[in-house]
Amino acid sequence: MTETDVLIVGGGPVGLSLACELGWRGVRCLVVEQGSEYEENPVAKVNLVNARSMEFCRRWGIDKEIRHAGFPDDYPMTVLFATSMRGKLIARIPYPSMGEQQPHPASPVNRQRIPQSLLDGVLRRAAQRFESVVAWFDSRLESFKDLNTHVEADIVRNGKRETVRAKYLAGADGAGSRVRKALGIGLTGEGDIDLSCGIYFRSRHLWKHHAMGKAIMSILVDRSGMWANLNAIDGWSTWRLSVYRDVDPAEAPALVKKAIGGDFDFEIRAVNPWVRRAVVAERLRDGRCFLLGDAAHQLSPTGGFGMNTGMGDAVDLGWKLAATLQGSGGPKLLDTYDIERRPIGERAVREATVNFRNLKNLPTYPWIEDDGPDADAKRAALGEKFVKTTRAEWDSWGVQFGYRYTDSPIVIPDGTPPPDDPMVYTPSAHPGCRAPHVWLEPGKSTLDLFGRDFVLYEPEGEARELYGRDYIVVRPDGHVAWRGDRRPSKEVWHTVKGN
């Protein structure tokens, strides 16, 4: 029998993020993943690590590795709207390349474009650098039992059954989560808001086959409305055409040609149909078992909130498991995982669904491909509307940095209203919010003061002005638990640690 503290079911980006967080804290964990360690998967569901998630990666010491993982520094993050890549341009939203962007004003880092094939590799290597982390690939969870004092799980590894005894189990095993189903946890929300299909294809330097220039995403509109978007996966040869309907594999080549506007050289790699959902698990904890990532919430990719919300789950759950296992967390601490993270999942689902419907629920445009000044004027007006209505998808800084735990029992309110705008992030040390970033010296942020344990921070200068109080208690995840102008009492410490 193999023994560990935390059994993580699922070795995708979220499960590996939890392994990194636990490994960074010295907690024993075992990751069980069905796929092979070096398997190449042509289907890339993840393309972007947002700025908040990059802060977590900075904590684990891998932000530079992700930053330089291979996506071209000079590829612009431009978004455009067009009838096809050789057709009529409707609008263009220019954004700088990864090499041109500076750290976000509210952070020591910024978001980073990276295809999942590269991200998985970085996270696998990072997790396994920690001595307390073990990863089993080509392995699957067959069954498990919560025995109140521990969890026992049957794992099939390389064709042989093994038993694992763990103090806790974390299900990061995707939308069809075996863990969630075994626990009898249902999903609430809209289980089917759209049927889509990702057509993955290769074409080196695709931009040489059209005159639109390089763009990270091109949203395509024909006479019937928006029908697809073209996404750059690796910035030079791999692309995904996402069609907003089911697709027969036999018609995939014709749809790719329609998107570009004619013949060109390409190779279809995969045709991947999927259901766009807007659901959240009814609960994220059941005894010694927890859900995170797609097992806990499933949402439209419009905005890039899915995996990044899962990485937030991993950090929240990780520090609480570590505190409980290492004796510093109180008996109520693990209960707050569901209390804190389920509303964040619901918020991400809501914002992503709004973003998608802003794109999809539009009228038909019989004139969209016409020539002449009248059609040109209509396209220009439509382009302005597209830019305005889709801005929240590209600039959702409030969703990235601004989520907060104001209703948590381990956060002590101070009577002030919290900021809340999905697009605009307002730095605030309001209890429950992410502790704001301030440069203390070159290369050192206030965020670098937090992480290993609870921190009592006495800000000075610019930080004091931004934090708004003389004393701040910051949790291990970097969120403010309490603030005041006198040192916190024993009762404050007792509360914020979940006693």
Q: Measured between alpha carbons, how far is 282 from 297 in angstroms, rounded to an integer?
A: 10
Residue 337: per-residue pLDDT: 98
Residue 264: per-residue pLDDT: 96
> Following DSSP, what letter does each residue of 454-474 receive, concatenated?
-EEE---HHHHHHH-SSEEEE
The two three-digit tokens of residue 385, written as one number: 């509307």
Question: Whole-model pTM?
Answer: 0.95
DSSP H or E stretch at residue 291 = strand 289-291
Residue 444 in 3-state DSSP?
Answer: strand
List helix spans (H) across 268-335.
306-326
Q: Measured between alpha carbons, how far is 498 from 489 in angstroms, rounded to an integer?
A: 15
Q: Measured between alpha carbons, how far is 221 from 257 in angstroms, rounded to an integer?
A: 14
Q: Measured between alpha carbons, how far is 270 from 157 in angstroms, rounded to an integer?
A: 28
Q: 241: which DSSP letter?
A: E
The two three-digit tokens of residue 13, written as one number: 């980006």
Q: Write out pLDDT tens, residues 373-425.
A: 999 999 999 999 989 888 777 888 888 899 999 899 999 999 888 887 777 89
Residue 39: per-residue pLDDT: 72
DSSP E strands in 172-224: the ranges are 187-202, 217-222
Evaluate whether 315 touches 387 at the Cβ level (below 8 Å).
no
Rounded-to-10 torsion of CA 298, 302, 304, 308:
-20
Nearest-5° Cα angle at 375, 371 to 381: 145
* Fold that domain 404-496 belongs to in CATH: Glutaredoxin (3.40.30)
Residue ranges per structural domain of the chain: 2-70+114-188+279-353, 404-496
Residue 37: per-residue pLDDT: 84
List 275's β-bridge partners, or say none. 195
* Fold that domain 2-70+114-188+279-353 belongs to in CATH: FAD/NAD(P)-binding domain (3.50.50)
Residue 386 in 3-state DSSP?
Answer: helix
Q: Report the greatest alpha carbon distance in the chain.
A: 75
Q: Measured between alpha carbons, how far is 63 from 112 in angstroms, rounded to an integer?
A: 9
Evaluate whether 166 touches 153 at the Cβ level (below 8 Å).
yes
Estimate to the nearest angstrom the gap between the alpha carbon of 439 and the chain centroid: 25
| pLDDT less than 70: residues of the chain | 361
Q: Measured between alpha carbons, how far is 70 from 116 in angstroms, rounded to an integer?
A: 12
Evaluate whether 302 touches 231 at the Cβ level (below 8 Å).
no
Give the β-pairing of 267-281 and 297-298. antiparallel
- Residue reference for tokens 């099939």: 156
Supply the Cα-derived Rg of the chain in whole angstroms: 23
Q: Among candidates 461, 448, 454, 459, which has minimal Cα distance to 485?
A: 459
The dihedral through the CA atoms of 290, 411, 52, 56 has a sign that is negative
CB hemisphere CA count around 463 (13 angstroms): 18
Residue 82: per-residue pLDDT: 97
The residue type of 51 is A
Question: 147 exposed, middle or buried (CB, 10 Å; 0-12, 13-18, 19+)?
Answer: exposed
Residue 447: per-residue pLDDT: 97
DSSP H or E stretch at residue 347 = helix 336-360
Q: Write out pLDDT tens, residues 91-137.
A: 999 999 999 999 999 999 999 999 988 999 999 999 999 999 999 99
